DNA sequence: TTTTACTTGCGAATGATTCTCAACTGGGAA
DNA sequence: TTCCCAGTTGAGAATCATTCGCAAGTAAAA
């Protein structure tokens, strides 16, 4: 939140609620789910505001946008950005979403940046396949 | 193409054209662009068929689906799958899309699979930021 | 407190993608 | 080769996520 103030972004009632919901959510939320939860705290929030706030937070680098392999439709999911990036494993069998962080991922990013001169602002690694359980069953 | 025959997929006139366009395209195509090019070879192709064929090829693992950081809208882009995965770097400055393949990426995938027991079928690594040129200008 | 540029809510608009269904056609069987 | 039919297509409507336009509301600087 302080990050936003520093950037001169106005902190409105709606933004406060939305940010808190995103930061406290145990799951990856899409815009509609985020709205539903936010409405419990502030019934007057509108879906357009949700989208506008997500765009704002994304541009400020405070949240990441995910596809999660589009396991259920073409929508996007959001999560608060953490210090080190992690990748998402989406199981085509049971729909489970797992997270995986590794120093090797960080190393790969550094190498890509070094090799190409590209200044990385967002990194998104998503894998689709079968989780341990489903791989066993399908095998 | 042989891959499809083996799987018992019917090879229609439209599919033949679409596959050839995808395989020969020097750029990443979205559904509409793919349709436009395909129509030059077979004017009767329909957008619905393009989407159906893309879904088919994606499920068979013959093409990869990309977002390219949604630099220009929420559409998807497609490319023929190659033997080794590569990641895509999308420049927020000039819109350039660069590709980058590295043994380290393959190694990371193997490590993730080994650590988690996940059987990877699709891997998508997309980076957004500034290319060498734009990073210099903005700095 | 006043001011004003930035935000919001609402509903309409957009754009990508999917669906429905009748007509069509690969490619195996006869 | 011809026949047959399950799988495929075209056309347009439908769906779904996301964005826009604009009048009314509101942070927060002065």
Residue ranges of domains in chain B, CATH in brackets: 1-81 (1.10.10.10), 84-139 (3.30.1490.190)
Residue pair A18/A53 in contact by the 8 Å Cβ criterion:
yes
Are A132 and B126 within 8 A, CB to CB? Answer: no
Higher-confidence position of B6 and A75: A75
CA–C1' span, B99 to C6, in Å? Answer: 39
Residue pair B118/B135 in contact by the 8 Å Cβ criterion:
no
Interface test with A, best of B117, B125, B126, B137 (most A CBs within 10 A): B125
> Coil, strand, or helix at residue B11?
coil
Instruction: Specify the pLDDT at position B139.
Output: 56
CA–C1' span, B9 to D16, in Å? Answer: 30
Let me know the angle formed at the C-alpha of B59 by B3 and A89, rounded to the nearest 5 degrees. 125
Interface test with A, best of B58, B59, B104, B107 (most A CBs within 10 A): B104
Per-residue pLDDT of B78-107, as tens digits, reads 999 988 889 999 999 999 999 999 999 999
Task: Measure the CA dihedral B98/A85/B138/B136, to 10°.
Answer: -60
Place of tokens 């499809």: B4
Instruction: Specify the pLDDT at position A1.
Output: 79
Q: Are strands B97-100 and B87-91 parallel, antiparallel or unpaired?
A: antiparallel
Are B118 and A91 within 8 A, CB to CB? Answer: yes
Closest nucleotide C1' to the C-alpha of B74 = C16
Q: Residue B99 phi/psi, 5° resolution?
A: -110, 150
Mean pLDDT along residues B12-19: 97
Cα distance between residue B125 and residue B68, in whole Å:
10
Higher-confidence position of A10 and B2: A10
The DSSP secondary structure of B76-105, one letter per residue, reads -EEEE--SS--EEEEETTT--EEEE--HHH
Distance (Å) from the alpha carbon of B41 to chain A's nearest alpha carbon: 30
Are B130 and A111 within 8 A, CB to CB? Answer: no
Tell me the C-alpha to C-alpha distance, in Å, between residue A45 and each of A15, A35, A52, B62: 10, 7, 12, 43
Are A135 and B112 within 8 A, CB to CB? Answer: no
Cα distance between residue B108 and residue B114, in whole Å:
10
For chain B, positions 12-31, list CB contacts with chain A under 8 A. Answer: none
Mean pLDDT along residues A25-29: 96
Distance (Å) from the alpha carbon of B18 to chain A's nearest alpha carbon: 23
Does pLDDT of A139 surpass 70?
Answer: no
Task: Measure the CA dihedral A66/A67/A73/A78, to 10°.
Answer: 0
Binning pLDDT at 50, 70 and 90, where does residue B117 land? very high
Per-residue pLDDT of A102-115, as tens digits, reads 999 999 999 999 99
Query: Which chain A residues touch B58 with a CB distance below 8 Å?
Result: none
Q: Is the CB of A55 under 7 A from strand D?
A: yes
Minimum Cα–Cα distance from A97: chain B residue: B118
Let me know the angle formed at the C-alpha of A17 by A43 and A36, rounded to the nearest 5 degrees. 45
Mean pLDDT along residues A7-17: 96
Does pLDDT of A84 surpass 90?
Answer: no
Distance (Å) from the alpha carbon of B48 to chain A's nearest alpha carbon: 17
* Chain centre distance of CA A18: 14
Nucleic strand D contacts from chain B, 78-137, CB < 7 Å: none
Residue pair B121/B113 in contact by the 8 Å Cβ criterion:
no
């Amino acid at each position: 939140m302080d990050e936003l103030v520093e950037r001169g972004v106005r902190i409105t009632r709606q933004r406060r609620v939305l940010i808190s919901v995103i930061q406290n959510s145990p799951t990856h939320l899409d815009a509609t789910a985020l709205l539903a939860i936010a409405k419990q705290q502030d019934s007057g929030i509108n879906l357009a505001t949700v989208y506008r706030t997500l765009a704002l937070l994304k541009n400020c680098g405070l949240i990441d946008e995910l596809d999660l392999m589009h396991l259920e439709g073409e929508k996007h999911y959001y999560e608060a950005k953490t210090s080190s990036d992690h990748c998402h494993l989406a199981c085509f069998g049971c729909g489970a979403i797992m997270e995986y962080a590794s120093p090797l991922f960080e190393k790969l990013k550094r190498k890509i940046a070094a090799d190409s001169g590209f200044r990385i602002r967002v990194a998104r690694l998503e894998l689709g396949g079968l989780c341990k359980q489903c791989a066993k069953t399908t095998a």
